[in-house]
Structure formats: C-alpha cells, structure tokens
Amino acid sequence: MIPLAAWTHAVSDIPAGGLSHERVASVEERAAIATMLGLISLAALKVTYRIARLAGGGCRLHGRLVSDLEQACIVTLDTVPEHMDETFDTEFWPDIQPGKGEQDAPVLDGRDVEPLDGGDIAAGRIIFETFAAALDPYPRTLGAEFSWQQTAGAAPEKTNPFAALAKLKGKP
C-alpha cells in the first residue's frame, strides 16, 4: 500500500469555493515512506494544498511539499542530507480512461490529468509520487568520486562456454 493513501478528499465534501489544507506526515507515515524509498531518514514532510472545482465536473489539486531527508551517498555510503521543496498540480476528471489519447499529447505539455476514481481526490498518492520523483537518484557527498582501476597485470580471464564440457569429455 502506498504511504499517505489515507490522505483523500471526497469530491462531494469540497465546497464551491474550494478547499485548502495543510498536513504534516506522522512519524509512522514518514517511516513507511523512508522504508519504501530506501531513505536513511525522513525527518519532516509538510504539505500545503488547495483543491478547486473545475467547470465540467473536474477538480484541480495543487500545492507544495517541503521535506528534510537523508539518503546514502552512492559512492561512499555516507549520509547525504537533502532539503526538498516541490510543487505539484494535477487535475482529476470523472470520464478519463487511462492510456486513451496519450499518444497524441506532447510529452511535457505541463498538464497532469488523472481519472477521478470513486469520487475521491487521492491527494496522498499525488504527494507521494511527487516526493518519490523529486528524490536525487544519485546522491553524493561533496567531493565523492568513483574511480575504478583494473589491477595491474591482471588481464580479464577469457572463458569458453564449452570449457566445462571439454573437461567431462572422456569421463565415463
């Protein structure tokens, strides 16, 4: 299950003027996110967002997430602290079928559209996906460099896939 999945809002509960919300992830939610994404720690995750009704039955979820986390350096495995400040903007529409018409849309047209499943706005899922996508995929400590060198005199051993069979040849 996706952490923050419980962060949903029923469309029927959203007033005509929209809904503003501020949430802070609990210790348990942060621990679940850290475990799922392989983080050393997730010290804070605060989100502010607004859900507005759109003409035609859709809704727009937009907001900002701020987080402090630690990942492991890909070279030294030392702790790499990171401060994240990301925005998100997604529209939810009741009659959208996933995958339909996507081949005609430009890849980066700037509009993120999701189907409105069961009359709920899945704010937590969007927030989790935004957080996961914003993580540095290759965190490095300052000055960390990977320099691989083959040891002198050691040539790579060439293997023949039939060498093992040749050893068995002549054995009863």
Tens of pLDDT along the chain (172 residues) come to 788 989 999 999 999 999 999 999 999 999 999 999 999 999 999 999 999 999 888 999 999 999 999 999 988 889 999 999 999 999 999 877 655 545 555 555 567 888 887 889 999 999 999 999 999 999 888 777 767 666 666 666 677 777 777 777 776 6
Per-residue pLDDT at 61: 96
pTM, rounded to two decimals: 0.76
Give the rounded distance of the alpha carbon of 146 from its chain centre: 26
Supply the pLDDT for residue 7. 94
Q: Supply the pLDDT for residue 140.
A: 85
If residue 32 lies in a helix (H) or strand (E), which one and from where to where?
Answer: helix 27-37
| Residue 12 to residue 120: CA distance in whole angstroms | 8
CA dist 136 and 142 (Å) reads: 14
- For residue 88, what pLDDT is reported? 96
Helix (H) or strand (E) holding 126: helix 123-134
Question: What is the separation of C-alpha 39 from the centre of its chain, rounded to a whole number of angstroms?
Answer: 12
Distances (CA, A) of 23 to 47, 64, 123: 5, 11, 11
């040891």: which residue's tokens? 151
pLDDT confidence of residue 143: 74
Q: Is 49 in contact with 123 (CB distance < 8 Å)?
A: yes
CA distance 66 to 47: 6
Cβ-proximal residues to 90 (8 Å cutoff; 6+ apart), any chain: 60, 61, 62, 112, 113, 114, 126
What is the β-pairing status of strands 79-93 and 112-115?
parallel
pLDDT at 162: 78
How far lies 80's CA from each of 39, 65, 73, 134, 136, in Å?
10, 20, 6, 15, 10
